[in-house]
Amino acid sequence: MLAVFDLDGTLLDGDSTGLWLWGRVKRSPLRALAVLVVAPLAAPMVMIPRTRRLGASILLWIATAGLGERALRDSCAEFGATFRAGGNALAWRPGGLAALKAHLDAGDRVIVVTAAPAILAQALIGPLGQPIEVLGTSLKRRGGGWVADVHCRHQRKCQALAEAGHGAHWTYAYTDSLDDLPLLRGADKPVIVKGGKKAERRLFRGRADQRSGGGLVT
């Protein structure tokens, strides 16, 4: 069976990308000043699905300007090491981590598909030492910094799974987000983590007659 997990808010209790970027920005007065200048424009853009990729790319570029590919990977690896040492506000969600372990113990294929940069998600998931595939937002170099290339969110998560050879349907999908409705609707057993009430209502509205089960985890 194939079990698909979102990352932020599902396996992690926090926003991994936001914390990584903020960690980089606060080390540099120049980056911090740049964020203050663009925040009135970029922050609202991030809140709107249609402009989210552009708004996020503006902030991402500021935080990564001057980094080559090796330095970018090193920055993500450093953030992952700090996370494992308990040195930032990010934490595993016990319920999500338990569900992940249960699927691994059962021999299921497990995939994490996230809007976070794939390179960052791999730095967090890889050290678990488990056969977990990671799909996420790809980045590209622009003007000396990095921006989002293919933003792995909403329907694009389903496309990423199909492009990776996993088809259009899966057994389980776990998420907390209304933005992941396409992912949930592609699952035989969609699971909403605690706190995703809007997604739960939207998903199961009109599915009362279907026999495939859903659920809720904490």
Q: Which residue has the tokens 């920005």?
A: 25
**Which regions of the chain are under pLDDT 70?**
195-218
- Confidence (pTM): 0.89
5 phi, psi to nearest 5 deg:
-120, 135
pLDDT in the model for residue 215: 59
pLDDT in the model for residue 118: 98
Task: Give pLDDT tens digits for 72-98.
Answer: 999 999 999 999 999 999 999 999 999
Q: Which amino acid is at 57?
A: S
Q: Which of 145, 4, 132 is nearest to 64 (CA)?
A: 145
- Which of 178-214 are b and which e, b meaning 16 or more Cβ less than 10 Å from the residue's Cβ? bbbbebbebbbbbbbbebbeebbeebeeeeeeeeeeb
Q: Token pair of 141, please?
A: 């170099």
pLDDT in the model for residue 203: 62
Beta bridge mates, 15: none
117 phi, psi to nearest 5 deg:
-55, 135
- The DSSP element (H or E) to which 104 belongs, if any, is helix 94-105
Q: Which residue has the tokens 């598909």?
A: 113
Angle at 21 between CA 18 and CA 27, to 5 degrees: 135
Q: Which of 168, 161, 154, 92 is nearest to 127 (CA)?
A: 92
